[in-house]
Amino acid sequence: MNEIKKPRKPLAFYYLIVLGVLFVLNFLLVPYMTQRRIQQVDYGTFMTMTEEKSIGQVEVQENQILFTDRDGKQIYKTGKMEDLGLVERLHASGAEFTGEIVEEMSPFMSILLSWVLPMVLFIMLGQFLAKKLMDKAGGGQNSMMFGMGKSNAKVYVKSSEGIRFSDVAGEDEAKENLAEIVDYLHNPGKYKEIGASMPKGILLVGPPGTGKTMLAKAVAGEANVPFFSMSGSEFVEMFVGMGASKVRDLFKQAKEKAPCIVFIDEIDAIGKKRDGQISGNDEREQTLNQLLTEMDGFEGNTGVIILAATNRPDSLDPALTRPGRFDRRVPVELPDLKGREEILRVHAKKIKIADNVDFNKIARMASGASGAELANIVNEAALRAVRDGRNYATQSDMEESIEVVIAGYQKKNAILTTKEKMIVAYHEIGHALVAAKQTNSAPVQKITIIPRTSGALGYTMQVEEGNHYLMSKEEIENKIATLTGGRAAEEVIFGTITTGASNDIEQATRLARAMITRYGMSRDFDMVALETVNNQYLGGDSSLACSAQTQTQVDQQVVATVKKQHEKAMQILLENRGKLDELAQFLYERETITGEEFMDILNN
């Protein structure tokens, strides 16, 4: 896409022009125009002209002599010489001595040039500047103050390198949904004939980095229509009324350019629920009201389609999401295994990469990654290849870059004591062993005890074999057991515990709590929701919705659930004590071991 921008020059530029014009007028033009042309001649010519009595006026200055011919039309200039009888000779030749040869100009012209002309120029420049500023401010009634009421939407038009649907990997449902819009923009007649009207607004919702912006651009690219892009936060100004004016301007522009697409990113910045508090945000609410009015104001078939993106759909004002405004909601979810593989392939096309890279494996390793993270992983791999002096990226670059994106870079100079390193080795093997011994746990991909910049001293990477849409109660329990496996190993081997398990504890607690409060997996509470999730796409923080008494019970059950799994993990490790020692020793020596090496030792 090419962004079309009017070249906008800073105000200083215009000031400079004014200064330049004044300079030229004052110092060059006026003196030039007020002077008759002066011709330089040698002293000989002067003497000859004196003898021939062809000098009209003469002015003897300190170091030069100015003189005119008999008609006074031409002025001559010559240097001054030691010439004793000069004055007499001049007098004899009939020349008229004067002191103002240059100042010969009609008073009218002089006033015109030194007063009227600069003023006229000034007024013209002033008009020009005012027009520029008005243009910037949106013109007409819309301009409130200079430059403030205008939408400043970026306008894109399609170009040969515009984003197409094929650039957006995965997200097939979303693409299918949007393809209809493209079709409508291409031949609206088909839809009008049957009386169908297109949705006015389409809301793209999903977690950050899943390609919402990209999809909107792809719609414009495919439909080959102008694309106005603006972020919700750009509407909100310091002064009440500015945002509303910007909305008006945006829609005015869009209607002029129809058919076209208007894209409002992060619409939650203006579309938040109006909460009726006295100290509400007036500016935001006015902007929202204006948006609502504008969306009502045009018919469904004018060819203006509004796309908006947000990752907080639950916070939007109901008036905005009702049918007739944003009546279609297109979820853009985190990619599944197939989607991740496709995204990796799309981005891998942009870099030089070995032919034998197993994208499926990488996609399985990067479970839960968004499109933006996958793009980042591919780029990290390319950077790593350059760092190693190769001109293409390999499988190991990709694998390492996943770890970089998940856990940060390897720490170069973190020095663990032998004891600490041993503890970390046992801790990680504890996780892996508990995971492997529970049949339902995903197999281990890789275990490493190289410290990372994220603070992790080591980690066990598990790989999902396929897509999981459901998790059974047993699977969650096993996961909790796996999380407690690290600490359990420390207890079994060293009889003491360390701070290394804080992250495991957090995750285990969250899972156990969700089992009880959200998934209805506890017998006592049956299918009662005790918690509501607030920000589904942004981390999913939840708030309790139950009495204090129930909370106490929930806490007790969470503790009991984790405790049970912790004991199970201890049990597994005690039963496999020999393998635990063997594997930990192996990991201690190698620092990084693969899933296969792990399974080999376990099964021998």
- DSSP secondary structure code for residue 77 in this structure: E
Q: What is the CB neighbour count within 10 angstroms for residue 14?
A: 15
Tokens coding 209? 């980095």
SS3 (DSSP) at 158: coil
Q: Does the N-terminal peptide bond of residue 259 adopt cis geometry, omega within 30 degrees of 0?
A: yes
Backbone angles phi, psi at 157, to 5 degrees: -125, 160
Bridge-based pairing of strands 227-231 and 55-60 is unpaired
Q: Which is nearer to ligand ADP, 250 or 343 (CB)?
A: 343
Q: Which is nearer to ligand ADP, 308 or 516 (CB)?
A: 308
Closest chain position to ligand ADP (CB): 371
Q: Which amino acid is at 573?
A: L
* 98: CB partners within 8 A, 6+ apart: 57, 58, 59
Tokens coding 360? 């499926």
Tokens coding 217? 């651009």
DSSP3 helix / strand / coil % (the chain, rounded to 5):
55, 15, 35
Q: Which is nearer to ligand ADP, 205 or 254 (CB)?
A: 205
Q: Which is nearer to ligand ADP, 210 or 287 (CB)?
A: 210
Q: Which is nearer to ligand ADP, 155 or 216 (CB)?
A: 216
Q: Which is nearer to ligand ADP, 240 or 372 (CB)?
A: 372
Q: Which is nearer to ligand ADP, 270 or 346 (CB)?
A: 346
Interatomic CA distance for residues 398 and 362, integer angstroms? 7
What DSSP letter does each residue of 493-535 carry, written as one string? HHSS--GGGHHHHHHHHHHHHHHHHTS--STTTTT---EEES-
Interatomic CA distance for residues 228 and 379, integer angstroms? 29
Min CB(147)–ligand ADP separation in Å: 28
Chain contacts with ligand ADP (rule: CB under 6 A)? 168-171, 208-214, 309, 343, 346, 371-372, 375
The strand ranges marked E within 61-208 are 64-69, 75-79, 96-97, 154-157, 201-205
Min CB(174)–ligand ADP separation in Å: 9
Burial code of 183-208, b = ≥16 C-beta within 10 A, e = fewer? ebbeebeebeeeeeebbbbbbbbbbe
Q: Which is nearer to ligand ADP, 376 or 396 (CB)?
A: 376
Interatomic CA distance for residues 532 and 112, integer angstroms? 81
Backbone angles phi, psi at 530, to 5 degrees: -105, 0
Min CB(551)–ligand ADP separation in Å: 36
Catalytic residue among 428, 477, 490, 491: 428
Min CB(345)–ligand ADP separation in Å: 10
Min CB(477)–ligand ADP separation in Å: 34
- The residue with tokens 């120029």 is 121
Min CB(3)–ligand ADP separation in Å: 15
Min CB(231)–ligand ADP separation in Å: 11
Tokens coding 78? 């010559």
From residue 193, alpha-carbon distances to 183, 205, 303, 334, 551 in Å are 14, 31, 15, 38, 59
100 is catalytic: no
List residues with catalytic annotation. Answer: 428
